[in-house]
A and B are shown apart, each in its own frame.
Chain A
Amino acid sequence: MRVLCCVKRVPAPGAKINVTADGLAVDAAHLGFTTSPHEECGVEEAVQIAERTGGEVTVLTLGPAEAAEQLRYAASVGAHLGVLVSTDGAAWDPQRTARALTAAIESLEAGSGAFDLILFGNESADSGGFQVGVRVAYALGRPIVNGIKGIEVDGPVVRARREIDGGFEVYEMDLPAALGVKEGINLPRYPTMRGRLASKKLEITTLVLDAAGGDQALVRLHRPTETVSQTVILGDGPDAAPAAVDVLEELGLV
């Protein structure tokens, strides 16, 4: 089975996120980069499916040349092929991103046939547009369901679980299909030394293609106004329990 997983390179912020002077990007001068969390789980899921079905995993990213780092990371945990749609590194709006990814997937599929399953992260950790996967799947004519935290491939059918309040929903689709996955679907493995070495040899296919921009434009990023809370310290250790229970009682909970 051939599985494609789309990933996004995002900064790995610490306790605070700073913005560049022009307000157009996260100041990543002192930050490392990582794979957006839902997508890291997507790669793990793709690798597990390929292991079970004797298949192949392709990882696709759209970003600057440095995003090759995230493709190599995916290879170090078991992905087989890496494809980079290179940009100048500026943030692309969701419509433009989706158009470029669609064109990239169409070109990959024209070469080696349709992917049986395409995995997206439910939303990216940074811009969080909640739409790129849906747009790409629709343009490719594939069904897609988001919010997926369980996947079971059974011959030509994929069953997917989505968490709801107090339980889960089950969806069932014929392949080929696409799914938007969420963290919690699995616990991603760490790369082995052997995996790391193998990832250095990954041949990355670079596609240069542009796409028409969408109608949403970034003006500036800023931090929300911090609500400065005057924390009332109720006391130290277990002796503070009565004061804590007074608070709960005031809220009508005791």
Chain B
Amino acid sequence: MVIIDVLMKIFMESGFAAFFEEPRYLFMILIACFLLYLGIRKKYEPLLMIPIAFGMLLANLPRTGITEGLIHYLSLGVEYGIYPSLVFLGTGAMTDFGPLIANPSSLIMGAGAQFGIFTAFLMALVLGFEPNVAAAIGVIGGADGPTAILTASKLAMDYLPAIAIAAYSYMALIPMIQPPIMRLLTTEDERKIVMKQARTVSKSEKIIFPIVVTIFVALLIPDTAPLVGMLMFGNLLKESGLTDRLSDTAQNALTNTVVIFLGISVGAKAIATTFLTLRTIEIVILGLIAFSFSTAGGLMLGKIMCKLTGGKVNPLIGSAGVSAVPMAARVSQSEGQKANPGNFLLMHAMGPNVAGVIGSAVAAGFMLKIFGS
């Protein structure tokens, strides 16, 4: 009898017994396992999907208390917006702004591709979300994970996991989401346009660019300073040619470390009681709408540029304005080659692509300015 009592006591105090009290934890564990499957098997943004899913798994194991210890302290980096800014530092160190500097009109397409942010913001309001939450949801349309996380951490902490998961899932799905919209909004002749090689960008231009952008953008919209400042700092480390060790650390060791902390922390915010709601499904749907409208916005600006330049710009590069470096540019390249096998749009699409990173940071800064406390 004593042995049975002891075994019963062990079971009653275990996490398994907690599933009877709150079955939603079990459901969350299944969702975490599904996300792990997507990350590992389907290779959907595995570098972030796997840490996010594992964080979700850890946080939903009942009675472990892990969210009050280790993960609580790791989460401070998300709450204070430290991790997204550090990821931007690494992104800046990996980014070549050359194609943008060579063809600055790409910036217009990067701006057009922020259309989805504001469309999704309005739709979220119509669905009854608070304005600050609607703003954070809209930023998913920037297709920029760190920006979406930073905005959500400041404006809608409760919805951070849903926003982060939606943002990264759709970024992974860009090769599936964008092509039908690209084919729908462009003609065969437009897709066949071969663009001329851009001019060579001098070293001095590449060094001056991050300094000028930081001063100008941070002064005009101070809320963008953490993101744009770190992005440009990382880029300056790369372009100066004198800080290779720092650039290498920013690109690899630092980014990898931060991505681990960021992923685990964001995933661990997805607790059954707050995540399993109708609102999460609405956010996921709004995220898809935001992505689609951003793609359409970039393409429409691409078409306008095509008309204005007398057919020298292939509108397909406009869709790359949705950030998601370099996947969106690769999709432009791939669609361009389907229409004309001799078409190489990759370098041209990198212009709107990196412009989109700046554009989404500016849009997020605007939202923080309007709706931040």
Q: Are A and B interaction partners?
A: no
* Residues in B lying within 8 Å of A, measured CB to CB: none
Report A's interface with B, CB cutoff 8 A: none
